Amino acid sequence: MSTEESPAEESPTGTAGVDPGVDDAVRTLLVLMPRMVGAAKRIPVPEELQSLELAPRHLSLLSYLLFDGPMTVNELAARLEVAPTTVSLMVGDLTRKGLLERHEDPADRRRRIVNITDEKRPAIQGWLARGAAAWRKALAPLSSSERQLFVHTLRAYEAAMLESLT
């Protein structure tokens, strides 16, 4: 019997022994992911937001506020998985740019609630609508457990990428 690996066990990425179907999916995703990112980057920024120099981190914060409504800096930090001081700086920046407003929590005057301004809400909704509609269309045919698995898989990919960079 030969000690050489069989062709089924060889992989162009050095992952001998991995199910060949995994490499097929990896190949497809390596081609697909840059196209998806490129398509998302081509979504035009509304004219009234173009001069504000918004970054992806701002988009994430604005998405949470748009979909989930007003919340505190600590709540935003937990969802964004960053330190409250980081979110506080982002909120300050976006407040100065006229995108966000902060007001006292009526239930606890020590807490500040963050929200998108009424003036900028339509522009932000318009900006996020295409991406949200595409995700809804892609996810709608899936069962709840399949959607959870999909999101879990994307998070696992993100974690693996971050781990590979350290």
User: Which range marks the domain in which residue 92 is found?
Assistant: 47-122
CB 23 within 8 A of CB 15: yes
**What average pLDDT is seen over the chain?**
89
pLDDT at 163: 94
- CATH number of the domain residue 110 falls in: 1.10.10.10
109, pLDDT greater than 90: no
Query: Does residue 87 fall inside a structural domain?
Result: yes
Q: Average pLDDT in the 22-30 region?
A: 91
- Amino acid, single-letter form, for residue 119: E
Query: Does residue 39 fall inside a structural domain?
Result: no
Query: Does residue 12 fall inside a structural domain?
Result: no
How open is the CA angle 109-69-85, to the nearest 5 degrees?
Answer: 60
Query: Does residue 17 fall inside a structural domain?
Result: no
Query: Does residue 68 fall inside a structural domain?
Result: yes
pLDDT at 17: 62
CB 95 within 8 A of CB 116: no
Query: Does residue 99 fall inside a structural domain?
Result: yes
pTM for this model (two decimals): 0.76
Q: Average pLDDT in the 47-73 region?
A: 92
Burial track 48-80 (b if 16+ CB lie within 10 A, e otherwise): ebeebebeeebeebbbebbeeeebbbebbbebb
Query: Does residue 37 fall inside a structural domain?
Result: no
Count: domains in the chain: 1
33, pLDDT greater than 70: yes
* DSSP classification of residue 115: E
Comparison of pLDDT for 40 and 139, the residue scoring more: 139
Query: Does residue 131 fall inside a structural domain?
Result: no
18, pLDDT greater than 90: no
| Alpha carbon distance 34, 27 (integer Å) | 12
Q: Average pLDDT in the 61-70 region?
A: 96
16, pLDDT greater than 80: no
Q: Is the dihedral of CA 136, 141, 144, 148 positive or negative?
A: negative
6, pLDDT greater than 50: no
Residue 83, both tokens: 């330190």
Q: Average pLDDT in the 122-136 region?
A: 93
pLDDT at 108: 87
98, pLDDT greater than 60: yes
The 3-state DSSP class for residue 19 equals: coil
In this structure, how many other beta carbons lie within 10 angstroms of the beta carbon of residue 124? Answer: 22
